[in-house]
Amino acid sequence: MAGQFQLILAVLTVFETRAFGEGLHARTAGATRQAELQELLRETLDVALTTGPRGVLRGLQAAGAVGGLAAEYAAAGRLDPPQVVLRKLFERLGTTYIKLGQFIASTPSIFPEEYCEEMQLCLDRAAPVPWATVEAILRQDLGRPLREVFSSIDERPLASASIAQVHAAVLAGSGKEVVIKVVKPGTADIIAADLNAVYLATRFLEFAQPELSGFSLGPIVAQLRASMAAETDLLQEATHLTHFADFLDRRGLRGVATCPYLYRQFSSKRVMVLERLRGVPLTDLAAVSRAVTSSVPAETVLINALNVWGASVLGAETFHADLHAGNLLALPDGRAGFLDFGIAGRVSEATWRGLEALLGSTAVGDYATMARALGAMGAAGEGVDYDAFARDLGSFFSQLESLQAGLVVATAGGGGGGLAAGLDIDSAAVNRLALELARIGEAHGVRFPPDFGLLLKQSLYFDRYVRALAPDLQVLNDDRVQWRSSNGQAGAFAAAAAAAVAGGTR
């Protein structure tokens, strides 16, 4: 092992000597660069020690993925554009790189537009691990025979993604339906090895090209490394879920919204047992109308979901930051059901101040004020032309408002002659809208903070739900959409979110 570290040091020293040559001869600059290099080498050794032999194994797997893709292209006799090649390679490399691709797709202020758009196609799906493997994990983490906890478990997974898979089950004794989420074995090691390599690559790239440090690639990858590591720890997700559950109970909101009950006594870092909520996504008016057996209209379910989520942004310690159609359901009793808290966010004070400033400007179409609010919220360079920025924002929101709802109208079944309306809502469409707004900001020297991007995406999801379930809803003028709370904060965000949802003119 020591010999490997000496080899690393030798290679890196040669790299430094060749890459910077004469720049190191200047006394002051040279001393600074030497100090930076020493720090980088120490960091490299720390990462190497942490990664250990698993890094070598993962390197061999990566080489196999690259070789396999190269062989396919050689056989086809053609090569796709670079962004397509990279996306296909990411999918072959699995877990970490799929998440990395999704990160690229959601960070248009850093990566080229064609890569952001291509990475929206990066699919997080993976073959399930055998039931025997899942069973062994459950036995080990539960510390008891499975029959003592579950009366039945469906060995076929309900879903399988790169990090975890989910099985349906019934609890012994109570007979309650639950789902079991299990982290796939080896996932944490793969993520650690992959992201350590990516992190070091960005650090050396920034060292070789100091001008790239302005993009903060190193800190961004470090943050991504920490967040992805957290996704393999289901206790972290359990914490986010508990934050939201406590918020619902504290505000007395269980009558209009809920989240799965967490069976903490059966949960661990690798296993999470949750109440199973049965419902339908808020994307199909007819399906929601059929599924909700109470007298609650579909529009009310949507408004309740909007109000609850908006209030949770400040009212809960963390807010749900992945409200795609599979994670927000209409339940039979008319409540909104929030699922899967693997991705959660916090709003910084700067972003919050910017959102408050956006409230009034969005409601009345004051794009000049909106431009300055966005500039104050993000990292704005010198000499921003706010008048031009305002004009482009006005154009963007006009396009958002004029978008066709995409409703699919068909004769309802059963011979009643009624109409059923549904909406196909995909993450790619939401990402494209967020990408366009980020592009406008960057074109004018304004780079939005990551937490604003999270909020924007959720607001765009709600915009699609409004178009599907309540296209005539006037969210800025409807008393059911709560603008004020007892402390003013949560209501203020609800207004900002609703304004963004409405495209600024409803």
Assess contact for 476 and 506: CB atoms under 8 A. Answer: yes
User: What are residue 194's phi and psi, to 5 degrees?
Assistant: -65, -50
- How far apart, in whole angstroms, are the C-alpha atoms of residue 438 and residue 430? 12
Look at the alpha carbons of 494, 276, 430, 98 in this order and tell me if their dihedral is positive or negative. Answer: positive
- How far apart, in whole angstroms, are the C-alpha atoms of residue 414 and residue 420? 12
What SS3 state is found at 199? helix
H/E stretch holding 171: strand 164-171
Cβ count within 10 A of residue 240: 23
- How far apart, in whole angstroms, are the C-alpha atoms of residue 9 and residue 2? 11
Instruction: Please measure the distance between the N-terminal and C-terminal CA atoms of the chain and give it in whole angstroms.
Output: 65
Tokens 């202020």 belong to which residue?
Answer: 109
Chain-centre distance of CA 226, in angstroms? 14
- How far apart, in whole angstroms, are the C-alpha atoms of residue 271 and residue 233? 9
Distances (CA, A) of 10 to 32, 51, 55: 20, 19, 19
Task: Please pick, among 141, 154, 246, 322, the residue that the annotation labels catalytic.
Answer: 322
The answer to whether 451 is a known catalytic residue is no
What amino acid positions are annotated as catalytic residues? 322
